[in-house]
């Protein structure tokens, strides 16, 4: 049996044919061109699905489900994208249209939820019952599996884990509040901390690392220069680890999952990220020393996580 | 059919016989005398149960379950009190001993979780699927019902909702971290805010309210004097509402329940508490204006909430 995974982004849309073991058999992508009428974009998804299936010489009838991961607020019951600023969609009946065009059941969920399903079925969370996935990118996203079920809350609007107040420094958040988890722990926040430190430390090695051009600062700058023992960079990393560690301690105390899985580019830091985070968590988790702690790991599905996670949404419904 | 609810506190233990509709038929309480060997306390619970049953002229065989709400860290799978500083218990096999003494299945859960079960089965959450209960007392406790099931996480150590970092003012928490939700939103925090305001406002009406004795300050002081338009008291209430509102916005974004139910003495303020909290939530909840908000109400079970909630734990398992 085959499944389709559709990973919707503001720039590109990736589509893959996936088997029941989570292996991608064939994949393709196209430019979103987000300003077009939504039905054109959905028709391009359909065309891409049909082309992949033809390429694999399989039958549309052998595709059991289409899973879609989309940014924004999704009503997963109806498969509607309620709102996403990445593509400027409002109340787009994505699942319904995809099913109408293909005859295949479609399941649309928030992209962080899709990623959590992927890691749970085929990645680091395989075989577990309770995991929390935190995706670190422009913002901070969250996906939660409780007792082997995707937890989404009413209107699929729960698990907005990036939007939990974390500190008191007053950073404004895209959601309208200040001081949300994502204002301290996203890649955007890491880059902001890095630039602030560079501005007050003209001798920092971070300036060399970015070729004297502060606009080339990215999520690696502070981590790489910290490895060179640059003091300012070490301070940036420590601040970032502190707040991300506090956010993960919150996750542990709220959900007490078996595993916290981190996704996003910063995970390339591997143990430079997870080791100090685990230490912070172990020192701060509720009831420390009385019951086992919660382990922190990085996600394993890599670049294809979006497609595999989306496909996993359908696999979970049909296996 | 009958159920027993046992509400364990550091000072008193309350026991009640409850019917399947959540009505208390007969209740009693005794002093915990927490320094005794735990088995003596458990035997006193047994004796109280037998005495209540005899008084009602019913048979022990007609009691289907004993539910127990206990402070502290509870392993609800085994019915063990892992740790509670209120009674100084460590690894007490409470459920097992109670069942051995009575022959009745026993279910032991954290008291905030028991309270959530009570409000869900017989109080404000009746008929709903997803609720969050926040109990405001010496600390802040949390209980979560997801899809009609008590959510506790691994080792029953999840839903520690009082222990989510909320701000940056640096208040130490009993859990070892700083700035937890309960350091801003417990009755203890409200009293601390009130005393701080009194110390810098010698002309505040709050001084009259406590008879010039700052040690008589309680959770009502600021609310009652705010109603008299005392400026310092209004500022205390506003600060308290701000942080509690932020904490509840977190709850809404994490769980997106149908209802947030508040319990504890401060709920006696009624609309003086819930109206500004609802306004704060509506302004700050994720995806505001796009999907309906989450309603905030006060708990309805009152003084007997502990017994009814504990009984509800057993009722949920046996009905």
Q: Quick: pLDDT tens for B217-251.
A: 999 999 999 999 999 999 999 999 999 999 999 99
Residue B217 is part of a domain; what is its CATH number?
Answer: 3.30.420.40
Cβ atoms of B298 and B263 within 8 Å: the answer is yes
Contacts of A294 in chain B (CB under 8 A): 154
The residue count for chain A? 319
pLDDT for the residue numbered B264: 94
pLDDT band at A252 (very low <50, low <70, confident <90, very high): very high
Could A249 and B177 be called an inter-chain contact, meaning their C-beta atoms sit closer than 8 Å?
yes
Whether residue B58 is found in the same domain as residue B140: no
Cβ atoms of B2 and B54 within 8 Å: the answer is no
Q: Which of A176, A247, A290 sits opposite B83 (nearest CB)?
A: A290
Domain that holds residue B47: 2-122+303-318
Contacts of A165 in chain B (CB under 8 A): 166-167, 246-247, 249-250
Whether residue B212 is found in the same domain as residue B101: no
Residue A81 has pLDDT above 90, yes or no: yes
Q: How far is A176 from chain B (nearest CA, A)?
A: 7
Q: What is the mean pLDDT of chain B?
A: 96
Contacts of A166 in chain B (CB under 8 A): 165
Whether residue B71 is found in the same domain as residue B83: yes
pLDDT band at A2 (very low <50, low <70, confident <90, very high): very high
pLDDT, one tens digit per residue, over A190-201 is: 999 999 999 999
pLDDT for the residue numbered B154: 96
pLDDT band at A303 (very low <50, low <70, confident <90, very high): confident
pLDDT band at B79 (very low <50, low <70, confident <90, very high): very high
pLDDT, one tens digit per residue, over A35-59 is: 999 999 999 999 999 999 999 999 9
Whether residue B94 is found in the same domain as residue B243: no
Whether residue A149 is found in the same domain as residue A117: no
Q: Which of A82, A166, A253 sits opposite B291 (nearest CB)?
A: A82
Could B290 and A258 be called an inter-chain contact, meaning their C-beta atoms sit closer than 8 Å?
no
Contacts of A159 in chain B (CB under 8 A): 254, 256
Whether residue A112 is found in the same domain as residue A231: no
**CA pair distance B207, A29, nearest whole angstrom:** 70
Residue B97 has pLDDT above 90, yes or no: yes
Residue B103 has pLDDT above 90, yes or no: yes
Whether residue B22 is found in the same domain as residue B64: yes
Q: Which of A75, A158, A179 sits opposite B255 (nearest CB)?
A: A158
Could B167 and A168 be called an inter-chain contact, meaning their C-beta atoms sit closer than 8 Å?
yes
pLDDT for the residue numbered B303: 85
**CA pair distance B50, B28, nearest whole angstrom:** 11
Contacts of B290 in chain A (CB under 8 A): 73, 82-83
What one-character-per-residue DSSP string does A137-172 give? SSSEEEEEEETTEEE--GGG----TT-SB--SS--B
> pTM of the prediction?
0.96
Location of structure tokens 């949920």: B316
Whether residue A150 is found in the same domain as residue A282: yes
A260 beta partners: A132, A296
**CA pair distance A250, A260, nearest whole angstrom:** 11
Q: How many domains does chain B have?
A: 2
Q: What is the mean pLDDT of chain A?
A: 96
B26 beta partners: B17
pLDDT band at B319 (very low <50, low <70, confident <90, very high): confident
Whether residue A274 is found in the same domain as residue A176: yes
- Listed residue (A184, A182, A183, A174) closest to A86, CA to CA: A174
Contacts of A256 in chain B (CB under 8 A): 152-155, 157-160
Could B163 and A256 be called an inter-chain contact, meaning their C-beta atoms sit closer than 8 Å?
no
Whether residue A314 is found in the same domain as residue A191: no
pLDDT for the residue numbered A128: 98
pLDDT for the residue numbered A206: 98
Whether residue A88 is found in the same domain as residue A177: no
pLDDT for the residue numbered A102: 97
pLDDT for the residue numbered A88: 86
- Average confidence (pLDDT) over B192-198: 98
Determine which helix (DSSP H) or strand (DSSP E) holds A198, and give its type and residue range: helix A187-200
Which of A158, A162, A243 to mutate to test binding with chain B, by most B CBs within 10 Å of its CB?
A158
Which of A113, A256, A284 to mutate to test binding with chain B, by most B CBs within 10 Å of its CB?
A256
Q: Which of A73, A146, A163 sits opposite B291 (nearest CB)?
A: A73
**CA pair distance B220, B227, nearest whole angstrom:** 11
Whether residue B176 is found in the same domain as residue B45: no
Residue B85 has pLDDT above 90, yes or no: no
pLDDT for the residue numbered B17: 98
**CA pair distance B285, B246, nearest whole angstrom:** 9
């Amino acid at each position: 049996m085959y499944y389709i995974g559709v990973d919707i982004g503001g720039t590109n849309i990736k589509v893959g044919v996936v088997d029941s073991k989570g292996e991608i058999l064939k994949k393709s992508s196209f430019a979103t061109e987000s300003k077009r009428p939504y039905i054109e974009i959905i028709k391009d998804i359909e065309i891409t699905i049909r082309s992949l299936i033809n390429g694999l010489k399989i039958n549309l009838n052998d595709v059991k489900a289409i899973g879609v991961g989309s940014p924004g607020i999704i009503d997963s019951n109806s498969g509607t994208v309620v709102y996403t600023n990445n593509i400027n969609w409002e109340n787009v009946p994505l699942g319904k249209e995809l099913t109408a065009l293909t005859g295949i059941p479609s399941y649309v969920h928030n992209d962080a939820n899709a990623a959590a399903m992927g890691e749970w079925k085929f990645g680091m969370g395989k075989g577990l019952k309770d995991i929390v996935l935190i995706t670190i990118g422009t913002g901070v996203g969250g996906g939660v599996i409780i007792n082997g079920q995707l937890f989404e809350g009413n209107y699929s609007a729960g698990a907005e884990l990036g939007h939990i107040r974390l500190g008191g420094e007053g950073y404004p958040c895209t959601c309208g509040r200040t001081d949300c988890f994502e204002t301290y722990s996203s890649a955007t926040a890491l880059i902001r901390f890095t630039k602030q430190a560079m501005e007050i430390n003209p001798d920092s090695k971070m300036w060399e690392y970015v070729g004297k051009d502060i606009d080339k600062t990215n999520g690696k700058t502070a981590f790489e220069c910290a490895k060179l023992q640059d003091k300012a960079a070490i301070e940036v990393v420590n601040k970032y680890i502190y707040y991300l560690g506090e956010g993960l301690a919150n996750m542990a105390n709220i959900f007490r999952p078996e595993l916290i899985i981190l996704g996003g580019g910063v995970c390339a830091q591997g143990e430079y990220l997870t080791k100090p985070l685990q230490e912070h968590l172990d020192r701060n988790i509720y009831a420390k020393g009385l019951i086992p702690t919660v382990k922190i790991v990085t996600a394993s599905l890599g670049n294809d996580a979006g497609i595999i996670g989306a496909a996993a949404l359908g696999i979970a419904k049909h296996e």
